[in-house]
């Protein structure tokens, strides 16, 4: 493990990074509101695919379901801009969660699990969250889609200092009992995202890799969706990323999007 947290900068992140798409253009801000907002703005300026927006800290980080995402200094907050074919959109969740899990494993030696669809857990506590936003590119760049993959990783967060996440969140420094280099992890993460994106572009599927990393299957879960709340056994996942839950009344429910609590 690399214990030296060299300071983050555009150069330290991108120098010698041997990627083909992800990270070819790195924008670094010591502090900003949310990397998602800056990423959207640079898409509208016509940025290259693979542009990455990295923040030293965020003052208005946001999570899924309109929740707040804490990013005090010492953690990782970044957004990666991709222009995938529309058939690849469901795979973006798989790409992002696999890349985070693989890079955490390679830098710390700890093997995290994925809670459907894309929370990264260690010892059943959340260490990383992923927010994916997608929209049409501005007309002058053609009508293809863009995807912003926002990734937050708790590196040095001390969850017990924040009300509401004391028992549900963790961080890499807590789990490893050592300091973990944000720089090493960001570089590893960009390398993994690039490798997996190239796999997709060569027509290979990430589904089996993602399915094998899921810790949700076989467990009793409560799933909150926009329409309802379901409790049952998480039976399987579909190639499109959806979760199948066998509800208590015996019905098999296909969940496209929602938030899972493990029971
Ligand atoms: C979640 O689990 O709810 C998703 C959290 C996503 C947080 C990341 S941090 C980088 C990017 N910028 C944001 O404001 N949010 C995402």
Q: Quick one: pLDDT at residue 214?
A: 97
Using alpha carbons, select from 94, 81, 198, 95 the residue that is nearest to residue 145.
81
Asked if residue 158 has its Cβ within 6 Å of ligand 1, the reply is no
Q: Quick one: pLDDT at residue 162?
A: 86
Q: Which atom of ligand 1 is nearest to the CA of 55?
A: 10
Q: Is 107 buried (19+), middle (13-18) or exposed (0-12) by CB count in 10 A?
A: buried
Protein residue whose Cα sits closest to atom 7 of ligand 1? 152
Asked if residue 61 has its Cβ within 6 Å of ligand 1, the reply is yes
Asked if residue 182 has its Cβ within 6 Å of ligand 1, the reply is no
- For residue 251, how far is its CA from the centre of ligand 1 (angstroms)? 33
pLDDT tens, N- to C-terminus, the chain (263 residues): 444 456 999 999 999 999 999 999 999 999 999 999 999 999 999 999 999 999 999 999 999 988 999 999 899 999 999 999 989 999 999 999 999 999 999 999 999 999 999 999 999 999 999 999 999 988 887 768 999 999 999 999 888 898 888 889 999 999 999 999 999 999 999 999 999 999 999 999 999 999 999 999 999 999 999 889 999 999 999 999 999 999 999 999 999 999 999 98
- Six token digits for residue 189: 């993460």
Decide: helix, strand or coil at residue 153: strand
Decide: helix, strand or coil at residue 77: strand
Query: Which secondary structure element, helix H or strand E, spans residue 235, and what is its range?
Result: strand 229-237
* Cα distances (angstroms) measured from residue 47 to each of 24, 81, 95, 120: 11, 9, 21, 29
User: Best substitution site from 133, 151, 170 to test ligand 1's pocket, by max atoms within 8 Å of Cβ?
Assistant: 151
Q: Quick one: pLDDT at residue 3?
A: 43
Exposure pattern of 17-51 as b/e (b: 16+ CB <10 Å)?
Answer: bebebbbbbbbbbeebebbbebbbebbeeebebbb
Give the residue ranges of DSSP H helices in the chain: 10-14, 35-44, 91-108, 172-176, 182-201, 207-213
- For residue 61, how far is its CA from the centre of ligand 1 (angstroms)? 6
Protein residue whose Cα sits closest to atom 14 of ligand 1? 61
- Six token digits for residue 95: 């790409």
Give the residue ranges of DSSP H helices in 4-139: 10-14, 35-44, 91-108
- For residue 65, how far is its CA from the centre of ligand 1 (angstroms)? 11
- For residue 18, how far is its CA from the centre of ligand 1 (angstroms)? 26
């Amino acid at each position: 493990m690399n214990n030296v947290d060299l300071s983050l900068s555009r150069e330290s992140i991108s120098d010698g990074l041997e990627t083909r798409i992800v990270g070819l253009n790195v924008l670094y801000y010591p502090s900003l509101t949310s990397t998602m907002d800056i990423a959207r703005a640079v898409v509208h300026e016509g940025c290259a695919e693979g542009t990455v927006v990295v923040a030293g800290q965020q003052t208005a980080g946001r999570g899924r379901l309109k929740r707040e995402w804490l990013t005090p200094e010492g953690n990782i907050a970044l957004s990666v801009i991709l222009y995938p074919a529309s058939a690849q959109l469901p795979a973006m969740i798989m790409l992002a969660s696999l890349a985070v899990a693989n890079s955490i494993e390679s830098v710390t030696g700890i093997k995290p699990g994925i809670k459907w669809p894309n929370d990264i857990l260690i010892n059943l506590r959340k260490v990383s969250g992923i927010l994916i936003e997608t929209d049409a590119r501005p007309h002058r760049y053609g009508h293809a889609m863009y995807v912003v993959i926002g990734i937050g990783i708790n590196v040095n967060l001390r969850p017990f200092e924040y009300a509401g996440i004391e028992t549900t969140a963790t961080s890499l420094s807590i789990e490893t009992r050592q300091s973990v280099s944000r720089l090493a992890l960001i570089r590893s993460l960009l390398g993994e995202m690039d490798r997996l994106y190239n796999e997709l572009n060569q027509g290979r599927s990430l589904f089996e890799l993602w399915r094998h990393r899921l810790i949700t299957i076989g467990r009793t879960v409560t799933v909150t969706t926009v329409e309802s709340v379901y409790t049952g056994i998480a039976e399987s996942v579909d190639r499109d990323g959806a979760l199948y839950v066998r509800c208590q009344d015996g019905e098999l429910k296909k969940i496209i999007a929602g938030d899972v609590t493990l029971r």
